[in-house]
Structure 1
Amino acid sequence: MRELQEARFLARVAEAWEVPFYRDRWSEAGLQPGDVKGLDDLAKIPTFTSEDIKHSIEQHPPFGNHQNFAIEAMRTPLKIQSSGGTSGLPRPTLFDPVAWEVQAIQFARAFVAQGAEVGDILQITLTNSLANTAWCSSTAALHWCGMIPLTTGSGVVTGSARQLELARSWGTNGWVAFGEYLKILAQEADRAGIDLKKDLPTRFIHTYLGVDTEGHLRDLLETAWGVPVYDNYGTHEVGLIGYECTARDGLHVNDDTAVVEIADSETGLAQGAGHEGNIVVTSLHRSVPPIIRYDLKDRMRSSDRALCACGTRTTKLSGFLGRSDEMVKLRATSIYPRSAQDVIQGDPRSTGEFLCVVDNVGEGLSSRERMVVLIEQASAEDGRPLQEDMKRRLKTTFGVTVDVEIVASGALAPQTGLGGEGKVKRLLDRRGDARSPA
């Protein structure tokens, strides 16, 4: 594996030297062609972030000086996908046929490791749109697994009631869905009198649990659906970096398609196995564009390559631990808003939905930052007991006291995006905004 990684890595580095984005950055860092002789020299290469990509696109439209070369030369078929675009235009990424199929293979490995079989119907509740998770899933099923993709799309495209009708009538065996939407489907099934465990032939669920270190969300979903729920981790540009197998003992890294490092969130220095920090990924299959030392700002831990109970020997990653670019400093304490998920999901009095709102209060020397955690309550009962319990438990989680406000079930969906396309938002930053969080 190391030899394979070395060969692919050096090929990608050679290609990157021909791309202005990398050539300029690497030259400014003092590197010259030939300085990087293998993976042992990886740390010599400066990292970049999504902000660097955005800047590249702004300065060199339409696709940035990391990608324009592919359009100009047009030596291979290309496809445009993009990031979610939560603010402004989405971030475009070009895919050549190799990248497209490799990312499908990454997903195919996950499906098989999670129990997929030839002939299974895979219901994909993400839409084949600019985002590429649904495309990767359907291509994996169709091209590489012998599965039958059922591309229903999200609840916006195919309503939740119809999703369940199709699954029951056509015999869905596996699901691709975000954890939050799986909860919505379970609630809809309860309203419709559908028993998810008896009426549907589901065997496995492929999802993205977020910060679920204590397993509250997984337990909730498995109790509702009665089948194993498998966590996964990926990124728009590099695909499915890690996936769980039936052993569910960490996420297997697709080592032949990506090299992952864990870097200190503040210094950027690479950390050894077992340390927590930002995941930095180098794609071994991407030429259009090359992706070399991309700091994703997602916090995780890694472990060295070892034999798993499933029989596979790979590097492993922990589950998702939060985003370093969402970190908020309150009274000299670093807070990662998504780490509240475990506490809130673990209390049955809440719906599990929350939003951390950060703003400034006071003026001049008395000015300070404040965080209010808005939490949905599942019932119409008095919310004060839940409020007090959440204040106490979140203080333990965050290491600092935060305000808590209890809101009605469903009240946060317009702000979090629950039930729509893309990831659910957990941070609303109003620093510099005069509005109150209420």
Structure 2
Amino acid sequence: MWELRRLLELAYNHVPFYKTLWDERGVRPSDIVKLSDIKKLPITSKRLFRQQPIMSLMHDSFFLPHYVWTETSGSTGEPFGFPIRAYSELDLTNVFYEYRFLLWRGENLNDLLASLRVARISDSLPNGYVPSDERLFIPRGLLRDDPSALFRQLKEFGPDVIASRPSMLFELARLAGRMDTNDLPRFKYIMSYGETLYPAARRFIERATSGEVYDAYGLEEVGTIGVECREHLGMHLNEESCIVEVVDGNGVILRDGNTGRIIITRFRRNDVMPFIRYDTGDRGMIMPERCPCGLRARRIQVFGREGIFVTLGGRKFHLSEFEKVLTKLHHAVLGYQIARVGEGDLEIRLVLSDGFSQAADAVAADFKKRFGLSPGVKIVRSIGYNERGKTPIFVDEMDLAEIDR
């Protein structure tokens, strides 16, 4: 509770936006005396922040070079730039929360913080990144342009963990299948983040790399929020560093086991611009059962973005309706993308496991039955990245985009 009190006092006294917002709602930090009182504070969002003068969002005593500018990916159509404490000041904390699953596997804490070797395939270096012998950043373009050089770098570096988005890990695994086994690096642990990891894709990556995949949940704004244990049954929340709530459409906190909007309050990560009761734009559920692994930290399941609608021929569909059809086939589908290719036309692009080509017919039939739509269904080897290195679930390829948020 003292971490929350500290954060609220800091925000109220040093960040003009929060003082104004909370004064308008008639709430002060002193009104929050127990964790459940957090519901008295208004929910914030990317959209709300984008409407404010940037200086009103920033701590009034931070100056360069103690912070750098970064941005979210804009996967909801709302790119958002914001200041964050310089990378070097956060590095050890980031390492602990991202890779604490290794502690649960019995690894040494000192080794984790001081000598863990991580290779990350990414579209760009983190802002303020300081090179070190323990970190290797590989541009995603190398997957496409020179995979042999990529595998050579990985083998020479010898990472303990390789980390990337599921789509990039899938491509890495696919390329590994074409390589001579003597040229392949060995990965003990693989970290997936930033996109939905489908069960079939997890199995494919693990078979091709002989590594164990751990999925993590986080955002650029608030860092890593949760990560799997070796049971791989949901992601354990880093509850000592954040408060995670799931709320309904009216902002009412839901009991564990119910699906709703994910709201996050993160302690300490970014005193330059705190994120308090921040609507992530994701939907998820706090799992009600205790994990078989014995850890007391609650687990979260994340189901995808909140509030994306697609208009087709004058009819409006929630993207989650389409996703439910496709995720039912998780045993067969390694990845997918939904594209609007005409005013009333969809194309479903599927990356399928070997032997499951009939899944394409099942998808077409289900879309016809549920929505009265006849999408084109195309089996592809991979889904292309956007400029931020993600493989978006939905793309609008029409000039008249009609995605509402």
TM tier relative to shorter chain: 0.7 to 0.9
Change (3 A) 1:31 1:431: farther
Superposition pairs of residues 246-265 of structure 1, within 5 angstroms: 246-264=230-248
- Which of 14, 27, 30 lines up with 2:9 in the alignment? 14
C-alpha distance in structure 2 between counterparts of 1:131 and 1:85, whole Å? 17
Change (3 A) 1:354 1:40: closer
Q: CA deviation at 1:290?
A: 1.7
Q: CA deviation at 1:434?
A: 7.8
C-alpha distance in structure 1 between counterparts of 2:138 and 2:180, whole Å? 21
Q: Paired residue for 1:148? A: 134
- Kindly indicate whether the alpha-carbon contact (under 8 Å) linking 1:209 and 1:231 is maintained by their aligned counterparts in 2: no
- Kindly indicate whether the alpha-carbon contact (under 8 Å) linking 1:114 and 1:230 is maintained by their aligned counterparts in 2: no
C-alpha distance in structure 2 between counterparts of 1:183 and 1:131, whole Å? 26
- Kindly indicate whether the alpha-carbon contact (under 8 Å) linking 1:123 and 1:149 is maintained by their aligned counterparts in 2: yes
Q: Paired residue for 1:357? A: 340
Change (3 A) 1:216 1:40: same
- Kindly indicate whether the alpha-carbon contact (under 8 Å) linking 1:78 and 1:95 is maintained by their aligned counterparts in 2: yes
2:349 is aligned with 1:375? yes
Q: CA deviation at 1:376?
A: 4.6
Partner of 1:267: helix, strand, or coil?
coil
Partner of 1:34: helix, strand, or coil?
helix
Number of paired residues? 386
Q: Paired residue for 1:79? A: 68
Superposition pairs of residues 274-423 of structure 1, within 5 angstroms: 274-285=257-268, 286-303=270-287, 306=290, 308-318=291-301, 320-328=302-310, 334-336=318-320, 337-339=322-324, 342-343=327-328, 346-347=331-332, 352-357=335-340, 360=343, 370=344, 372-376=346-350, 387-394=360-367, 399-407=370-378, 409=380, 413=384, 416-417=385-386, 421-423=388-390
- Kindly indicate whether the alpha-carbon contact (under 8 Å) linking 1:79 and 1:95 is maintained by their aligned counterparts in 2: yes
C-alpha distance in structure 1 between counterparts of 2:102 and 2:124, whole Å? 18
Superposition pairs of residues 22-101 of structure 1, within 5 angstroms: 22-56=18-52, 60=53, 63-67=54-58, 69-71=60-62, 74=63, 77-85=66-74, 90-95=80-85, 101=92
Partner of 2:30: helix, strand, or coil?
coil
C-alpha distance in structure 2 between counterparts of 1:41 and 1:218, whole Å? 39
Q: Paired residue for 1:3? A: none
Q: CA deviation at 1:103?
A: 3.0
Q: Which moved more, 1:33-42 or 1:74-83?
A: 74-83
Deviations 1:370-391 (A, max 9, x none): 4613315679xxx9x6643221
Change (3 A) 1:394 1:229: farther
Deviations 1:124-168 (A, max 9, x none): 112553569xx6xx99xx7xxxx9322223235984322212223
RMSD: 3.7
C-alpha distance in structure 2 between counterparts of 1:169 and 1:100, whole Å? 24
C-alpha distance in structure 2 between counterparts of 1:36 and 1:299, whole Å? 26
C-alpha distance in structure 1 between counterparts of 2:165 and 2:106, whole Å? 18
Q: Which amino acid aligns with 2:305?
A: R
- Kindly indicate whether the alpha-carbon contact (under 8 Å) linking 1:275 and 1:301 is maintained by their aligned counterparts in 2: yes
C-alpha distance in structure 2 between counterparts of 1:89 and 1:225, whole Å? 34
2:152 is aligned with 1:165? yes
Partner of 1:25: helix, strand, or coil?
helix
Q: CA deviation at 1:240?
A: 0.4
- Kindly indicate whether the alpha-carbon contact (under 8 Å) linking 2:194 and 2:218 is maintained by their aligned counterparts in 1: no
Partner of 1:188: helix, strand, or coil?
helix
Change (3 A) 1:40 1:88: closer
Change (3 A) 1:129 1:122: closer
Superposition pairs of residues 126-145 of structure 1, within 5 angstroms: 126-127=122-123, 129-130=125-126
Partner of 1:322: helix, strand, or coil?
strand
Partner of 2:272: helix, strand, or coil?
coil
2:176 is aligned with 1:186? no
Q: Which amino acid aligns with 2:170?
A: K
C-alpha distance in structure 1 between counterparts of 2:367 and 2:119, whole Å? 36
Q: TM-score, normalised by structure 2?
A: 0.80
Q: CA deviation at 1:16?
A: 1.4
C-alpha distance in structure 2 between counterparts of 1:357 and 1:311, whole Å? 45
What are structure 1's unaligned runs of at least 5 residues? 1-5, 361-369
Q: Paired residue for 2:98? A: 107
Q: TM-score, normalised by structure 1?
A: 0.75
Q: CA deviation at 1:171?
A: 3.1
Partner of 2:141: helix, strand, or coil?
coil
C-alpha distance in structure 1 between counterparts of 2:141 and 2:6, whole Å? 42
Change (3 A) 1:169 1:115: farther
Change (3 A) 1:249 1:334: same
C-alpha distance in structure 1 between counterparts of 2:67 and 2:391, whole Å? 30
Q: CA deviation at 1:304?
A: 5.7
2:186 is aligned with 1:201? yes
Q: CA deviation at 1:115?
A: 7.1
Q: Which amino acid aligns with 2:174?
A: Q
C-alpha distance in structure 2 between counterparts of 1:356 and 1:10, whole Å? 46
- Kindly indicate whether the alpha-carbon contact (under 8 Å) linking 2:69 and 2:81 is maintained by their aligned counterparts in 1: no
